[in-house]
């Protein structure tokens, strides 16, 4: 059990994990391919996340 404010924070935990997952992959791609993060194609990032089981479609 938790107070209303604490439960609100808990609801966003899963999204935070997903953001971190995506940011980690983007950072790795940028470093390995020596490109700016803005130069990474969204489709390429989604493909990597889906290989990890993200099921982004």
Please write the tens of the pLDDT for every residue from 1-57: 778 888 888 888 888 999 999 999 999 999 999 999 999 999 999 999 999 999 998
By the 8 A CB rule, do 46 and 56 touch?
Answer: yes
Those residues with Cβ within 8 angstroms of residue 18's Cβ, 6 or more apart along the chain or in another chain: 54
């Amino acid at each position: 059990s938790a107070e209303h404010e604490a439960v609100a924070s808990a609801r966003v935990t899963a999204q935070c994990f997903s953001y971190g997952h995506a940011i980690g992959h983007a950072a790795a791609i940028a470093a390995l391919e020596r490109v700016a993060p803005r130069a990474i194609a969204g489709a390429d990032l989604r493909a990597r996340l889906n290989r990890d089981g993200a099921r982004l479609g």
